[in-house]
Amino acid sequence: MSMPPPYRYKRIFAYGSLQFCGHIEEYLAKHTAELSVMIVQPRVGQHQNFLRRYSGGVLMEERALRSSQNLFVYYALWYIYHLRALWFFSTPAETTIVFAGHPIAFFGMSFLRCFRPLLYVYWIGDYFPSTQWSVRLYEWVKRRYHARMDVAYYLSDAINRVMNDTMLESPHRRTVMWGLKPYDAFTPPPMRPFSLLFVGLIRPGQGIEMLFDFLSSHRDYRLNMIGVCQPNYFAQLQKLLDQLDLHSHVFFPNRFYSEAELLTVAHTCHVGIALYDTAMGNFTHYADPGKVKAYAEMRLPVVMTRVSDIVGFVEKFGSGEVVEHVDEISDALERIRMNYPYYQAGIAHFIEYFEFDRYYQKAFSKLEEA
């Protein structure tokens, strides 16, 4: 009886992120014999990119790569490092999977295939419904490369339909959302006070003012806002907290929290809040919001507005409440508070479905053929 191979994939050159990205780097490192991961950070601020090399699931090397805030130099350096890293990582004797989410990784792929056996995989994670010429040009480039891909994945059904003019679900064209990796289970705190968690960039249009109004008339609720916002908006929110006398009900440090710090706060909370602009021009309709998956990892039910395909899973598993407008938050929170065990069970089902190791193995079955 033959033994199964120790790794699902032989050789992959992939892109990663220092932000929440569905644990894709962790998954590939665990199941790929030879893996190279290029991490490209946003152009804003002082930054550098990285190249990581794994062998047998062990991080063997991490090198910093130069970058720039200048638009032309930023992309030029990115592409030069991409070509150099891919050339030296790939071999003429073995197929290398190139797993990327940006068109720049596919420039010159026909030429490179003359020297290396490369299988290109495009995981499309965004779509911008804009009339701006630069955005339309970007979407046109994406479509052009998408049509030439060996394999294409889509972060949502909405992107799947846009890119294919229909919904595809085949081994080489299918929707693959973010997987998740839950933290250890914990005993929820007492139901009074009932604590809410809001994580992420804090900006206007997220229903924060509506939440404050709700708290002003429901004094047995608390809100933890973990994230940063612009100074002007922070001053506006502080003024509103003064007017409503809510400083003892709202924890708002306005700074970045480490993973350990965030988890400590999450263990004092009952519900995660994910309110998005529901206007049709909002690109979140085509995304898989990381905030919803992050709350699930922290084992918190979610209250979210009806945006993104993830809504269907929240409703299917009963892992939270979906509201049409932010003024429905009050009723949604009361339903969760009065039936908390039901929503805890829903979160468990949600986690089971999106558990990253099992979910990705099924989704990426085509890659095992390489």
The helix or strand, by DSSP H or E, that contains position 124, with its residue range, turns out to be strand 118-124
Distance, in Å, from the CA atom of 228 to the CA atom of 234, rounded to the nearest integer, reads 8
Question: How far is Cα 46 from Cα 255, in angstroms, rounded to an integer?
Answer: 18
CA distance 97 to 288: 24
pLDDT of residue 19: 77
Strands across the sheet with 320-323, in order? 250-251, 221-226, 194-199, 271-274, 302-305, 320-323
Instruction: Please report, in tens digits, the pLDDT of each residue of the chain (370 residues total).
Output: 444 568 999 999 999 988 778 999 999 999 999 999 999 998 877 789 999 999 999 999 999 999 999 999 999 999 999 999 999 999 999 999 999 999 999 999 999 999 999 999 999 999 988 888 999 999 999 999 999 999 999 999 999 999 999 999 999 999 999 999 999 999 999 998 999 999 988 888 777 888 898 899 888 999 999 988 889 999 999 999 999 999 999 999 998 888 899 999 999 999 999 988 777 777 888 999 889 999 999 999 999 999 899 999 999 999 999 998 877 888 999 999 999 999 999 999 999 999 999 999 999 999 998 7
Residues 321 and 340: beta-carbon distance below 8 Å: no
- Residues with Cβ within 8 Å of 39's Cβ and at least 6 positions away in sequence, in order, are 15, 16, 17, 18, 49, 50, 51, 52
What CATH code is assigned to 9-179+355-369?
Answer: 3.40.50.2000
In this predicted structure, what is the pLDDT of residue 1?
44
Which among 185, 248, 250, 176 has a CA at the least distance from the CA of 212? 250
Amino acid at 53: R
The residues near 83 (Cβ < 8 Å, ≥ 6 apart) are 108, 112
Is residue 132 within a helix (H) or strand (E), and if so which, with residue range?
Answer: none
Helix axes 24-31, 356-363, angle to 10 degrees: 70
194-354 topology per CATH: Rossmann fold (3.40.50)
Confirm if 207 and 275 have CB atoms less than 8 A apart. yes
The pLDDT score that the predictor gives to residue 4 is 54
Topology alike, domains 9-179+355-369 and 194-354: yes
Domain extent listing, the chain: 9-179+355-369, 194-354
Joined tokens for residue 356:
């990253």
Look at residue 232 in the predicted model and tell me its pLDDT.
93
- Beta carbons of 251 and 224 less than 8 angstroms apart: yes
Q: How far apart are CA 233 and CA 238, in angstroms?
A: 9
Q: Write down the pTM of the prediction.
A: 0.90
Helix, strand or coil, per DSSP, at residue 90:
coil
